[in-house]
Structure 1
């Protein structure tokens, strides 16, 4: 019997991050009756706005890229206009001194060749080495041994190319230091971003809070469509009930677990112990975001790369005023931040302010209390994307699937990975019901 002939179904979605909202919206679109459960008081998960004494700021800075087709389509579905909410610009990895790479508009291959050929601060030998390495990756179909690290993949590249380009790209995309990051996943990201179509590598920088990009419009859309939303409610129990599932005693035909891997492991331990153990053993990398204030400063671009090091935590800085947000506010992002989390947020804030003053010598000269607006750590920002990592599958049991950026797939922990995983998890859960 086809799925269409058995509509509508009672579908539960656990978690209202970007994955959960994606699953809920797509299930509602298909005519199902959706109930959404979220333990937090606000939607958005690890990509949302948070109230602070300095106003609403994001719990972490996120970049979208042109290749995020599923995420952009989801935004349009719920009435969030990407053209209005996102600032599109060519991929630019420039530093405060002007060195770095910028990809001009055009076909992917031509754009990459022109960008490398005109990169500032690199010698002809360094440019040629990168072009030869990229050609080799292209000829091999952007594939490599599953146990290879990014450091191993790029070991023959000149040190300057690694420091200026590979390492910041790796930590931005995988949130894992290149010595411990999966080369296989890194190559997949490069393939999709740099060589999958014109504009795929473009940076899409939020002009509004992350909540305004998707969580708030999605909630409004779901409510208008009649979905039932429970915020501030943690799901305590999940068990099989014939061809369906009991979630805290309420029966559903299909369930999508779009909560964290930790919560999903807790809920599935009694009936899917192997899956639960796999989800519970994932390791994580934190991200720290420090918001600094200087009303006189304006960056040369909305985002600049920074030279990170032992005493310089941040890899990127975003000029939020240039994006139409808080004037004079700058978000300094520390990815792969485990060593700095261990040192504490106070020590990290001091180090970021010192780094900011060195990078921009005429800025951030006020007292520290006036400079630092807010600093936050997302302790489990992403799973550690290590070589050979075996991630939990989407299918947990018939009619029960897992969604989120941590499930098995080719992408690291990104917004696009979350949205795609949710769409696939929903289809999987409903397919099982159609066969029952």
Structure 2
């Protein structure tokens, strides 16, 4: 049995910790924050306000490793998540909606049935999707999503490509990697039955994985240190010393900057690559309006210079807080620069223009995750999982096929844990 440390208690760190514990290792999980969950956590409300998530996260049916991890720590995804077929409902009309069935034919049927788009636009989308599939959902690494989809009709780009791109990659289409975008589309739309289904949390994010995983780890004898920042890391005779404590092997599942700091003297090239990553913010604006509902649990919105939000969620319809709504701004750097107060007012005005309300909504809270995801740009070289013998990195920023998603984080954590038995 090896003594293992996992630095970082987000979804990547939790996945690594659970897998390492299942392998029989003596595990110590070190997390700088006072709670587990990383960027997918809940925040206690003040002055009687409800508990809010630091951002509105969703999963999709293709996130098989994330769903399996939830089950392993005692969470039933069928109870914790509301599963809905992919549906991009707009305030004034239905967007693309996929019926149940075999994935490729479900996509064909959904596109052909979408009467809001001209028939020529629907046929061009299907022809383009067929070319993508025949090409193995791959393309030149240098292509952006905007370049990949340049020949598609404008309405298809505005109502399908751009919303899906910013939702999945948190990077605008003109700067987003087409190769990564295609990988997500391939897995979601053609990877298996239910892969494109939306899985919307019915519970606060911390209750979705972080708290159950923490309880599970403690019950297995793992040690969890909250509010503890990892300091100095040194190699020592085939093992590692972290702040003077000896560990056989380590997994750095902390943010890229923290991992780079810890590994700077051990693997300078790896640390430089991790430090070179650039990040995109996400802003979530919570509005409250007693007695109000949206036309669907999740709405797609038209983004513009005066309308920041791309999606809105009715948390009452998700079994959380009636009258509470989360408006999400992905790729939110311009709005962060303008300030959170102005951003909240802009979302409020957008909501008032586009949606009907039983009572005028008010801004409850504006939350910004300023380094929510790495900027998923064409040709991006992400740091490798193996830093040095016996030292791995995990996190959605680590090299892999997925963008910065919960599934990407979980897969990287599992991959790092799988490496524990391969070296040393």
Q: Pick the TM interval, shorter chain.
A: over 0.9
Cα deviation for residue 363 of structure 1 reads 5.2
**Cα deviation code 1:341-390 (max 9, x no counterpart):** 01000110010001001111445625xxxx11111000000000000000
1:64 aligns with 2:95: no
- What pairs with 1:158-307 in structure 2 (closer than 5 Å)? 158-307=153-302
Q: How much has 1:215 moved relative to structure 2?
A: 0.1
Q: Taking structure 2 as the reference length, what is the TM-score of the superposition?
A: 0.98
Aligned-residue offset at 1:428: 2.0
Aligned to 2:95: 100
Which position in structure 1 is the counterpart of 2:339?
344
- Matched with 2:402 is 411
CA contact (8 A) 1:256 1:429 kept: no
The question of 1:9 aligning with 2:41 is answered: no
Provide the rounded CA distance (Å) in 1 between the counterparts of 2:218 and 2:261. 29
**Stretch moving more, 52-61 or 279-288:** 52-61
Pair 1:137-2:132 in alignment: yes
Task: Find the counterpart in structure 2 of residue 147 from structure 1.
Answer: 142
The answer for the alignment partner of 1:314 in structure 2 is: 309
Q: Name structure 1 gaps, 5 residues minimum.
A: 1-7
Deviations 1:82-139 (A, max 9, x none): 1110000101111011231000100001100011011141111111111111011011
**For 1:203-260, what per-residue CA distance to the aligned partner results, in whole angstroms no more than 9, with x for missing partners?**
0000000000000000000111100110000000111011111111111111000000
SS at match of 2:423: helix
What is the rounded CA distance, in whole Å, between the counterparts of 1:116 and 1:158 in structure 2?
A: 13
The 2-side partners of 1:176 and 1:19 are apart by: 21
Measured in 1, the distance between the counterparts of 2:236 and 2:159 equals: 55
Pair 1:422 & 2:417 matched: no
2:152 is aligned to 157
Question: For 1:248-278, what per-residue CA distance to the aligned partner results, in whole angstroms no more than 9, with x for missing partners?
Answer: 1111111000000010000011121100000
**Matches of 2:61 and 2:160, distance apart in 1:** 19
**In the TM superposition, what whole-angstrom CA distance separates every residue of 1:30-55 from its partner, at most 9, and x where no partner exists?**
11100000000000000011112222
Partner of 2:363: 372
Q: How many pairs does the alignment contain?
A: 422
C-alpha distance in 2 between matches for 1:401 and 1:334:
33
- C-alpha change, 1:217 and 1:362, in structure 2 (3 Å) is closer
How far did residue 425 of structure 1 move? 1.1
- Of the three residues 311, 321, 331, the one matched with 1:326 is 321
Mark the runs of 5 or more structure 2 residues left unpaired by the alignment. Answer: none
Structure 2 contact 291–359 (Cα < 8 Å) conserved: no
- Distance in 2 (CA, whole Å) between partners of 1:258 and 1:89 is 31
Displacement of 1:295? 1.7
- Answer whether contact 2:14 2:210 (CA < 8 A) is retained: yes
